[in-house]
Amino acid sequence: MADDRTFNAWAYKPLTKMQLTLREWTEDCVELDITHCGICGSDVHTMDSGWGPTEYPCVVGHEIVGVVKKVGKNVTKVKVGDRAGVGAQCNSCRECKNCLEGSENLCMKGIVGTYNARWENGDKTYGGYADRWRGDYRFVFKVPDNMSSAIACTFFCAGVTTYAPLKRCNVNSSSVVGVMGLGGLGHYGVKWAKAMGAKVIGMSHNDKKREIALELGCDEYLNTSDKEAFGAYRRQMTHILCTGTGRDFDWVTYLSLIVVNGHFINISIPEWNFPEINPFVFFSTQVFISGSAIGSPAEIEDMLEFASVHDVEPWIQTYKMDDVVKAIEDFRAGKPRFRIVLEN
């Protein structure tokens, strides 16, 4: 049977329905009939060429879940009929030190993005605003049976980006986790930290998110414009997960909220740099500052298991895939509470 590589996608730019060609089939491939795809801020940045030039036509979407339609001979981790997903990374070099040590998400030759990148054979990678996806099994994961596909898809980027560093930094029932920024990522941060047993402090730069923070499960709320309110939290948080910050960020103020040997974890990508650090700040706080890049395949597996066991349920809003233009408009307007999922 001839390999049917034609698929339907919403491709940019502008966002238009068109037919494109899936990558060449190999025995390492998995093909999905896409049922769901989350909308990530990266999709919009890439459509806008915000992180460098985008090679059009580009099919974005890297929170993909679908039903496995076809697997190559080398594939054992999923089988036809399974629900499976793929996140922001679809390949790595498999040879560098980081890949060999299980940190494929930090591949030293650069990760292969699920869109706007190239497979090793030169074929373009295409994301999930489409009806089909095809790619290497190494970055495809079975969705746990007790998890809806609409929920599951969002775990593959927003989920693991927030889960991996909290897990890595040992958030547990003794932890007090401040979550800076309560948008798409922050809301996952709250959900994970609560499921890990921590006390959670929602943090945002005004009072608009206070109510929804508590509704999400935050135990307390800190308006970061209210400098007086900081006093009560001095050296109280074991972790801060920074998912968003303003230009007025300063190290002393935020690190002073964190306990000795606690963690400041940045996963936000502001359009500006984090400020200079006075060397005395390192001494006087004794806090670990780090960041995190999506998550490795092992971390994705671990997250899916954790979410399944702890029934972690992010708040999502679904749109029909054919309403993607409207969905992106709403996304740009900051309307999602907290993640938009496109459904075929």
Residues of this chain that bind a copy of itself (CB under 8 A)? 97-98, 101, 103, 106, 108, 168, 234-236, 259-261, 266-270, 273-293
Which element (helix H / strand E) includes 163? helix 160-168
Q: Which is nearer to a copy of itself, 82 or 104 (CB)?
A: 104
Q: How far is CA 118 from CA 43, 111, 127, in A?
A: 17, 10, 12
Distance of closest approach, residue 49 Cβ to a copy of itself, in angstroms: 16
Distance of closest approach, residue 67 Cβ to a copy of itself, in angstroms: 32
Which element (helix H / strand E) includes 142? strand 140-142
Distance of closest approach, residue 129 Cβ to a copy of itself, in angstroms: 24
Q: Which is nearer to a copy of itself, 224 or 296 (CB)?
A: 296
Distance of closest approach, residue 171 Cβ to a copy of itself, in angstroms: 15
| Spatial distance between the Cα atoms of 188 and 202, rounded to a whole number of angstroms | 12
Q: Quick check: 331 and 180 in contact, CB under 8 A?
A: no
Distance of closest approach, residue 56 Cβ to a copy of itself, in angstroms: 23
Distance of closest approach, residue 184 Cβ to a copy of itself, in angstroms: 16
Number of other CB atoms surrounding residue 219 within 10 Å? 16
Q: Quick check: 267 and 292 in contact, CB under 8 A?
A: yes
Q: Which is nearer to a copy of itself, 225 or 290 (CB)?
A: 290
First to last CA, the chain: 26
Q: Is 41 helix (H, G, I), strand (E, B) or coil?
A: helix
Burial of 27 by CB count in 10 Å (0-12 exposed, 13-18 middle, 19+ buried)? exposed
Distance of closest approach, residue 154 Cβ to a copy of itself, in angstroms: 19
Determine phi and psi for 174, rounding to 5 degrees.
Answer: -95, 0
| Spatial distance between the Cα atoms of 65 and 71, rounded to a whole number of angstroms | 15
DSSP code, position 152:
H
Q: Is 148 helix (H, G, I), strand (E, B) or coil?
A: coil
Determine phi and psi for 165, rounding to 5 degrees.
Answer: -70, -35
Q: Which is nearer to a copy of itself, 15 or 240 (CB)?
A: 240
Q: Which is nearer to a copy of itself, 233 or 315 (CB)?
A: 233
